[in-house]
Amino acid sequence: MESPALSPQADDYCFHCGQCVSACPTGALSSSDIDIKDCKEIADDLKITAEQALQFVRSRRSIRNFTKEKIDQKTMYELIRNASYAPTGGNFQGVKWIVIDDQEKIKRISDMIKGFLEEMVKLPGNEVLLPANSIGSSDDYVFWDAPAVVIAYCDNPIDYRIALTYLDLCAHGMGLGVCWAGYFNFALRADHPGLKEAAGIPADCENYYPAMVGHPDERVKYYRMPPRKEPKIRFI
């Protein structure tokens, strides 16, 4: 018997998101560019309870204490591969990644940003807040001595943010640590000379966000989940 397949007209409108293949109970359907053999089955014994899922989401923290251990490229690939399961508009999957894992380069970028920030805070009406006692110190308060900085970027103005959020959550699941790099982003948006180029972000790209990634220093343990503000909701 012939395997079920999309009609050619339906294929013209298809996002290739894999919805049909994943919902086919018998595993008989392949779409024009998704082979059923590439679709790992959802294992019942790996499903987590609602309680486990909630603890996972609520216990994620921004990590600012890293070990000196580098993240090998295979692990970094795995992390980004997992983050690639983030939803994208029209299933476009256009998010690209830059990984900076050269310590000298990270230090050079951090020093550029620190120089910029420490000039900014002197300006009247400035609203930049730096960590206590940071001005003039050798502390890396930009990247917290992380062994890697990752930048997500794409044409779509939303997708890279969702992808980086997935990266943050996937890192939590893989025992890695992430912290979004707001100071870096701030200096990039202010067009600090040479920074975008040093970061490898294409000159015409405006849709990007950086984060630092590393192995969390186990000496800093988290025992509880602090509360968050009550959500403001209007049901209409």
Ligand X SMILES: Cc1cc2nc3c(=O)[nH]c(=O)nc-3n(C[C@H](O)[C@H](O)[C@H](O)COP(=O)(O)O)c2cc1C
Binding site residues, ligand X, CB under 6 A: 61-62, 64, 179-183
Does residue 72 contact residue 213 with C-beta atoms inside 8 Å? no
**Residue 29 vs 181, nearer CB to ligand X:** 181
3-class state of residue 55 by DSSP = helix
d(CA 67, CA 174): 15
Query: In this structure, is the dihedral angle defined by the CA atoms of residues 136, 137, 141 and 145, taken in order, positive or negative?
Result: positive
Which of the 8 DSSP states describes residue 121?
Answer: T
Which residues are within 8 A (CB) of 123 and not within 5 positions of it... i.e. 6 or more apart?
A: none
Choice between 151 and 181, CB closer to ligand X: 181
Phi, psi of 161 (to 5 degrees): -70, -40
Find the residue with minimal CB distance to ligand X: 182
Three-state secondary structure call for residue 226: coil
Q: Which is nearer to ligand X, 61 or 196 (CB)?
A: 61
Question: Closer to ligand X at the Cβ: 62 or 73?
Answer: 62
